[in-house]
Structure 1
């Protein structure tokens, strides 16, 4: 997906912010040379389809393939989710802010508040 001798990989949660920057930079790039650009060129429907496919693969891995496959498929899911964020103009910081707002709130209470 992302290659290059000059590219260094951050560790931990910071990797998603860096991944987002790289992915957003691929918008409008040549689809013949970039898988990410190809996804953008094919449109949001294709991006959503790939994200759903990867989510399903995480579930299958969790049920029958073991932790190593869960890790691998989770990385694929996060990549495709990040492509979707870039396509919709959502940033990782917006998602982190939403998670922070929900932190410490009962899931039942949070869902009830959304209905109101």
Structure 2
């Protein structure tokens, strides 16, 4: 999946804000950010389990679920996917170890 595909998914999720909640699972999650956050946690655990089990198919499937639920959570909290991508861009070229230690370490 390219960033373009993730952008399209984010746009579809954003459009679900106007869907009927009795027919749209996405709308139900958008209306309940706490439920959305719990789903991200659940899917994250399922990704970790699939990875440790070395189950490639499950890892791919659960990762797709995680990305979907993550984008729903962002939308439910009015955070744009582009904002997250921008934060990643700003970190490019910066060592993760250096960022974790901070300037005082």
Normalising by the residue count of structure 1, what TM-score does the alignment of the two structures yield? 0.82
Q: Hey, which bits of structure 1, 4+ residues long, moved more than 6 A?
A: none
Q: Which has the higher contact order (CA 8 A, sep 6+)?
A: 2
1:101 aligns with one of 66, 70, 90: 90
1:19 matched to 2:9? The reply is: yes
Alpha-carbon deviation of 1:113? 3.9
- Counterparts of 1:16-95 in structure 2, within 5 Å, are 16-41=6-31, 43-64=32-53, 66-95=55-84
Alpha-carbon deviation of 1:103? 0.8
In 1, Cα distance between equivalents of 2:80 and 2:103: 21
List gaps (5 residues or longer) in structure 2: none
In 1, Cα distance between equivalents of 2:4 and 2:43: 22
User: Does the Cα contact within 8 Å between 2:29 and 2:76 map onto a contact in 1?
Assistant: no
The number of residue pairs the alignment matches comes to: 105
Residues 14-44 of structure 1: CA distance to partner in whole angstroms, max 9, x if unpaired? 1111111110111142111111012123x11
Against the structure 1 CA distance between its residues 54 and 101, is the aligned structure 2 distance closer, same or farther, given a 3 Å change threshold?
A: same
Structure with more helix by fraction: 2
List gaps (5 residues or longer) in structure 1: 1-10
